[in-house]
């Protein structure tokens, strides 16, 4: 029988979240809000998160509206927040907020695209 994954207590979670600006603990989940510039970008973000989650075989809960996506992570099988949640949050953050380097070959979109949302 597989061993249950180790979970973090609230103090440990707060410490780990310090390295993930915009993410916060609420109701037993680590959460993040992203704002988008509209429905097409919202759908692209949801699809991207879905791809990352499937590749990681760890699936967040998502709340999706016209210009906002909320991500909630918790490891149900462990009954709390585990390394899986932090690792996937970090990857979502990296990809969702990625922009080409200034002066590089890629120009980047002039639109607002995906940006950090209000944490509450």
Q: Could you list the pLDDT tens digit for every one of the 120 residues in the chain?
A: 567 899 999 999 999 999 999 999 999 999 999 999 999 999 999 999 999 999 999 999 999 999 999 999 999 999 999 999 999 999 999 999 999 999 999 988 888 789 887 655
The answer to whether position 88 is within a domain reads yes
pTM as predicted: 0.92
CA-CA distance, 120 to 116, in Å (whole number)? 12
pLDDT at 37: 92
The answer to whether position 68 is within a domain reads yes
The answer to whether position 91 is within a domain reads yes
CATH number of the domain enclosing 92: 3.30.1360.20
Domain count, the chain: 1
The answer to whether position 3 is within a domain reads no
pLDDT at 2: 65
CA-CA distance, 64 to 40, in Å (whole number)? 12
What is the enclosing helix (H) or strand (E) of 2? none
Two tokens, residue 44: 């692209």
DSSP assignment letter at 100: P
The answer to whether position 5 is within a domain reads no
pLDDT at 118: 67
Short-list 108, 112, 111, 73, CA closest to 92:
73
Alpha-helix runs per DSSP H in 32-119 = 39-56, 83-96
pLDDT at 112: 79
The answer to whether position 16 is within a domain reads yes
Partnered with residue 49 across adjacent β-strands are none
What is the enclosing helix (H) or strand (E) of 44? helix 39-56
pLDDT at 9: 97
Domain ranges, residue 42: 10-100+110-116
Say if CB 58 and CB 74 are below 8 A apart. no
pLDDT at 68: 95
pLDDT at 41: 94
The answer to whether position 1 is within a domain reads no
The answer to whether position 95 is within a domain reads yes
């Amino acid at each position: 029988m597989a061993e249950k994954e180790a979970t973090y207590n609230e103090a440990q979670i707060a410490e780990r979240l310090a390295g993930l600006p915009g993410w916060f603990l609420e109701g037993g989940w680590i959460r993040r809000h992203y704002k988008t510039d509209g429905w097409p970008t919202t759908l692209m973000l949801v699809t991207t998160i879905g791809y990352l989650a499937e590749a990681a075989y760890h699936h967040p809960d998502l709340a999706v509206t016209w210009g906002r996506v909320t991500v909630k992570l918790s490891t149900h099988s462990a009954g709390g927040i585990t390394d899986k949640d932090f690792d996937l949050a970090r990857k979502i953050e990296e990809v969702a907020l990625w922009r080409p380097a200034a002066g590089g070959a890629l120009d980047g979109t002039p639109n607002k695209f995906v940006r950090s949302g209000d944490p509450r």
